[in-house]
Amino acid sequence: MSWSAAALHAIDALSQARVLRGHFTIEEMRAEISIEDPHDLRAWGGVTQMAIKAKIIEPTGEFKGARSSHQSPKPVYRFVPVGFRSK
């Protein structure tokens, strides 16, 4: 299994475990996932887009400062309920 497929699977598992409730940044979500970060953290951008396309997460339209980038504003997401996801 590729790193991106494993990361997407971990995001889906996290959504079903209901560990994160409400709204979160990808940085906050990454802290809850037990998967090793890729060599280049920008790879999370592609996985984020895959998770949006699969309707696992959706952007809220809000932004929040991220510790990893000197409080640079990052999009905020929420999990899509399982019954509303694409197959």
Give the model confidence (pLDDT) of 2-49 as tens digits.
999 999 999 999 988 876 678 999 999 998 998 998 999 899 999 999
- CATH code (residue 64): 1.10.10
pLDDT score, position 68: 75
User: How does pLDDT run across 64-77, given as a tens digit for each residue?
Assistant: 988 877 888 999 99
Confidence of residue 85 (pLDDT cuts 50, 70, 90): low
Which of 14, 20, 73 lies closest to 47 in space, CA to CA?
A: 14
pLDDT score, position 87: 56
Query: Rounded CA gap, 37 and 20, in Å?
Result: 19
Q: Count the domains in the chain.
A: 1
Query: Bridge-partner residues for 73, per DSSP?
Result: 65
Residue entry with tokens 């990893």: 68
What backbone torsions phi and psi does residue 79 show, to the nearest 5 degrees?
-75, 145
Give the residue numbers spanning the domain of 7: 3-84
**Predicted TM-score of the model (pTM):** 0.86
